[in-house]
Amino acid sequence: MLFVALVLSNAVNVNFRMDAELKRNMEELCDDLGMSMTTAFTIFAKRMTGERRIPFDVSAD
């Protein structure tokens, strides 16, 4: 538990708006995967910054 407290000591809050249904669906999926939305977004941020790109294809389709 001490490790977690040390890791979170540098944590900051990030706020953004999201469609309510999308949020509910993501919360449900994260729960199914055994993680929080914070963990999911942290994984995304680490992968994006590590690869220096969005880690999936983005298109106008």
Per-residue pLDDT at 8: 59
> Model-level pTM?
0.76
Per-residue pLDDT at 7: 56
CB 55 within 8 A of CB 47: yes
Tens-binned pLDDT, residue by residue, of the chain (61 aa)? 445 544 556 888 999 999 999 999 999 999 999 999 999 999 999 999 999 999 999 999 7
Per-residue pLDDT at 31: 96
